[in-house]
Amino acid sequence: MKIIFQLAILSIFSISCNQKLDKARIKDGDNAMVGTWKLMSGTLIEKGDTTVTDYTKKLSFIKIINKTHFAFLQHDLNKGKDSVAIFSAGGGEYSLKDSLYTEKLEYCSAREWEGHDFPFTVTINGDTLIQNGVEIVESAGINRINIEKYVRVKE
């Protein structure tokens, strides 16, 4: 029983340290965001209406982040053969200071989004990244809160 208790304490301590380390990496500039991320869910809040999208069913969305750039790709999982046929992509440079992650969208299949900056607050716990912020694209009539939950794609 004593050994089980000690292992439980050690496990809790290890998990706690890993979560603190991930948050510290962002704060200290050691970029824990580099990698490939799969979007699991997205929540959009616009004009008082909330829309939650499950990206594990009919859609797939990944974000790829290196030291200087990001790119995202989204498509439907039915190979474009039904009413949810969709493909979108975009990317550009980004900046990261503490937990403020700002995407500078240079390329986008929705061209009116190009040339805009999108600031997000990010947190990483283990293999989960949460980003939330306000997206404003006046020319497209967009002004909304966007909350996205990603999991890291394993190598």
Any idea what the CATH number is for the domain that residue 14 is in?
A: 2.40.128.490
Q: Is 140 helix (H, G, I), strand (E, B) or coil?
A: helix
Q: 116-142: string of b/e by CB count within 10 Å (b at 16+)?
A: bebebebebeeeebebebebebeeeeb
Q: What percent of the chain shows pLDDT beyond 90?
A: 66
Report which secondary-structure segment, H or E, holds 2. helix 2-28
H runs (alpha helix) in 33-152: none
Q: For the chain, what is the radius of gyration of the CA atoms?
A: 18
Specify the pTM: 0.77
φ, ψ of residue 43 to 5 degrees: the values are: -125, 125
Nearest to 92 by CA among 101, 81, 83: 101
Domain span at 15? 2-152
Contact 27, 33 (CB under 8 A): no
What's the total number of domains in the chain?
A: 1
**Which pLDDT band holds residue 30 (cuts at 50, 70, 90)?**
low
pLDDT digits (tens, 9 = 90+) for 3-12: 433 333 334 4
